[in-house]
Amino acid sequence: MRVTFLGHSGFFLELPEADLLFDYYKGNLPVPDPGKPLFVFVSHVHADHFSKRIFSLAEKTEQIRYVLSDDIPKDKVPGELRAAGLVRFAGPDEDLRIPFCRTGSGKNAAGGQVKAEGPSLRVRTFPSTDEGVAFLVDMPSAARIYHAGDLNDWHWDDVDREWNDDQYRRYQGALAKIASCVAEDGHVPDAAFVPVDTRLGDGEFYWMGLDEYMKAVGARNIFPMHLFGDPSVIDRMRGLPCAEEYRDRIFGSGTPGEQFRIGENEV
């Protein structure tokens, strides 16, 4: 796959059988390939993860599906897309099959367009420690992608210890669910997108969520996100002693438009 960092928590993934867009909210929208399925994911309604501009992509390709967290109000989604069955709302703890969109396969007896049967994505969702959901996506080619959205160990200095402890417990619970899914076949995500936010504890606790994720679940390639304008946090994460076992799997400089190619034993 080819991974393009769009900014903040937005990523565009190009795979042989389909393209995936996660949590776009600003910058240049990717140009869809009209001959290739496109799946658009939104983890939650926060303004730094969701823009209604994503719905303009349906004007450029018929092969599109939207997988949206169910905290996004339906009136923010064009009615014609919902009526056409192109939008799936998902809450936590769901196990979905999202079919590829196929066009031009003929007419039925009543003269209506028939969609050809084809492959589907398996999408499993997990409860966020903030809003919405996290996604674990399995491609027909067996590629596996994890996008955390705002699922993280949010540790703030200006809240009480009880709140922070509850965040930790909830995060560990979600990670246990993800790890259980991964343990079914032993295939850790090929690409994982996980927050590293230097606002946490005045920059002291940005590393916890990613490190806890790697120890509980793991990934072949890790892309820190939710940078809030501080791309230096990626190199700081690489330099931490806790990251010794996986620092060579951490990629990115925090520059929008940066691309990475993930192949067989290659990035």
The answer to whether residue 110 scores a pLDDT higher than 70 is no
Predicted TM-score (pTM) of the model is 0.92
Read off the pLDDT of residues 224-256 as tens digits, 9 standing for 90 and up. Answer: 999 988 999 999 999 999 999 999 999 999 999
pLDDT in tens, 162-214: 999 999 999 999 999 999 999 999 999 999 999 999 898 777 899 999 999 99
Segments making up each domain of the chain, as ranges: 2-100+115-261
Among positive and negative, which fits the CA dihedral 155, 156, 160, 161? positive
Q: Residues near 122 by Cβ (< 8 Å), separated by ≥ 6?
A: 95, 96, 97, 137, 138
Q: Let me know: does 133 contact 44? Beta carbons within 8 Å.
A: yes
Alpha-carbon distance of 50 to 46, in angstroms, equals 6
- What are the pLDDT digits (tens) for 40-95? 999 999 999 999 999 999 999 999 999 999 999 999 999 999 999 999 999 999 99
Residue type, 63: Q
User: What is the architecture of the domain spanning 2-100+115-261?
Assistant: 4-Layer Sandwich (3.60)
